[in-house]
Structure 1
Amino acid sequence: MEHRVLSNGTIWLSAPTADDVDAITECCQDPAIAEWVTIPVPYVRDSAVTFLEEMVVPGWAARSPTWAIRPRAGAPVVGMIGLGEQDESAAEIGFWLAPAQRSRGLMTQAVELVCEFGFHADGLALERISWRAFVGNYASAAVVRRAGFRYEGMSRLGSIQRGRRRDHWLAARLRTDPPGPSDDWPAQFISARTPSTQGPGVP
C-alpha cells in the first residue's frame, strides 16, 4: 500500500525513514518504553535500522502500516504507532511516546487518527481494531479507553517479552462502535494514575 500521511493539524503521522534512526534510538532509551514495549534491550542504533528494514518497510508493502508521530510536519520523531494485520478485516494497534510528550493528549489523537484511517473504506476498511498491553500499563489503557475501545478481559501469560511470558489486558474497537470515551471499563482503570503512554505492538 502507498504511504499515507495522517494529521489533524496538531500532530502529523508519517512513515518513519532512515533519517529518523537516531531519534528513534534516543527515544527507546527510556526505561518505561522498555518496560511495556517488545523492543530489544539494550536498544542500539542497529535496533532502529532493523525495525525500519524488517517491520516498517514490509509492513507498508502489505497491510501493516507504521507511522512516526511528529509535533509538526518534518519534525523529529516523538513516538510511534502502527497497525498489525490479523486478517483482511482486523488489525492490532500498538504505540509508544517519548517521555517529554506525555500527558498532553497527543497519543489519544494519534490513536483516533489511525482508527479513522483503519476503518475508512479508503483506508484499510477494517471491521475490528484490537489492543493489548501488559498488565499494569494503565497509561496505554487510558489512551484506548478515551479513543472508544471496549475492555474485553485479561489473558493469563498471553504475551511474551524478551523470553518472559506476561499477562496482558485486551480491548477492541469495532467500526460500528460509537465515537468518544468508552464507559464499560472496570473501575480500576477509571481511577488509575497514568504516568506513561506505551503499548506492546510497535517496537
Structure 2
Amino acid sequence: MTGGALHPPDPPLSDGTVTLRPFTDADVEQITASCQDPEIQRFIPVPRPYQRADAEAYVRRTERQWAEGTKAAFAIIDATDPEMLLGAINVAINGAVGNSGYWVAPWARGRGIAGRALRLLTDWAFASVGLGVILLEIRPENAASIAVATRCGYHRAGEIDINVETGERNGLIFSRLASDLAGSGDGPV
C-alpha cells in the first residue's frame, strides 16, 4: 500500500492505558526532551545533538509521510493524560511489508508502554492497512526491545547491518506475519 494517503485511525488506537495518534506541534518540546536521552541516541538514529528544530522537522516529515502513504508515525500518549508523550512508534510501508520502530521516553519506561503500543500498531497495520508482514530491526544489545518484540509475537528472522555510523553488521531482524497465530497479547509487556 504505497502511493496513496494513509488515514490515521478515528478514533485513535487505544487500549485504555496508551493511545496512538499522529504527532502534532504540541509534541515538539517532549520529543526534544526525550531525544536527549542517551539510550534513545544509542539505539535510534537521531541527530546529535538533538535540537528543537529536529523535532519540528520530524513532525512535518511525519505529516508528509501520512499524506504520501509511506509511513504511519504515532505519538504514544497516556490515555488518561493526552498531553503526556510517552514515546513514538511507526511503521514504514512498502507494498504489503511494514518496517516498524519505537522508542519510549525515559520517564515512561518500565510500564509496558512499548509492548502496548506495538500490539496496537501491529493489529491495526494487519487489519486496516493490509500488511502481510511487519519487520523490526533491533540491535542485539537492546535486550528490552528484544523482549518487547518477542512478547508481542515477533520471531527472530535474521540479521542486518543497521548501524549507519560504523557500518557494523550488528542488527537483528524480528518479523511477524499477519497469519501468525501468536496473539497480540494477554497482559502487559
Displacement of 1:180 in angstroms is: 4.0
Is residue 40 of structure 1 aligned with residue 47 of structure 2?
yes
Hey, what does 1:128 align to over in structure 2?
Answer: 133
Deviation at 1:179, TM superposition (A): 2.5
CA–CA separation in structure 2 for the residues paired with 1:47 and 1:142: 29
Give the corresponding residue for 2:180. Answer: 177
Structure 1 SS opposite 2:82: coil
How far is 1:135 from its partner?
2.5
Asked if the contact 1:12/1:69 (under 8 Å) is kept, the reply is yes
SS of the residue aligned with 1:48? helix
- The alpha carbon displacement at 1:149 in A equals 0.3
- Please, which runs of 5 or more residues in structure 1 have no aligned partner? 182-203
CA deviation digits over 1:107-156, x for unaligned, max 9?
A: 10110000000000xx111100001112211111111100000111223x
Query: How far apart, CA to CA, are the structure 1 residues paired with 2:8 and 2:70?
Result: 11
Normalising by structure 1, we get a TM-score of 0.82
Which fold has the larger relative contact order, with Cα–Cα distance below 8 Å and residues 6 or more apart in sequence? 1
**Distance (Å, rounded) in 2 between the aligned partners of 1:180 and 1:126:** 16
Amino acid in structure 2 at the alignment position of 1:112: R
Residues 63 and 124 in structure 1, CA contact (< 8 A), matched pair in contact too: no
2:41 & 2:133 partners in 1: Cα distance? 27
- 1:94 matched to 2:101? The reply is yes
| Counterpart for residue 35 of structure 2 | 28
Greater mean alpha carbon deviation, residues 100-109 or residues 70-79: 70-79
The equivalent of 1:11 in structure 2 is 18
Aligned counterpart in structure 2 of residue 111 of structure 1, from 118, 127, 149: 118
CA–CA distance in structure 2, aligned partners of residues 103 and 26 of structure 1? 18
The Cα of 1:36 is off from its aligned counterpart by 0.3
Contact 2:40 2:103 in 1 (8 A): yes
| Rounded Cα–Cα distance in structure 2 between residues aligned with 1:160 and 1:50 | 22
Tell me which stretches of 4 or more aligned residues in structure 1 moved more than 3 Å. none
2:89 aligned partner, one-letter code: I
State whether structure 2 residue 65 is matched by structure 1 residue 59.
Answer: yes
| Structure 1 contact 128–173 (Cα < 8 Å) conserved | yes
Q: Which position in structure 2 is the counterpart of 1:79?
A: 87
Report the count of equivalent residues: 175
Aligned to 1:77, the other structure's residue is in SS state strand
**RMSD, aligned CA:** 1.6
Give the distance between the partners of 2:154 and 2:7, measured in 1 at CA. 27
- The residue type equivalent to 2:85 in the other structure is V
* Unpaired runs of at least 5, structure 2: 1-5, 185-189
In the alignment, what sits opposite 2:3?
none
Distance 1:6 1:179 in 2: 20
Identity %: 29
TM-score by length of 2: 0.87
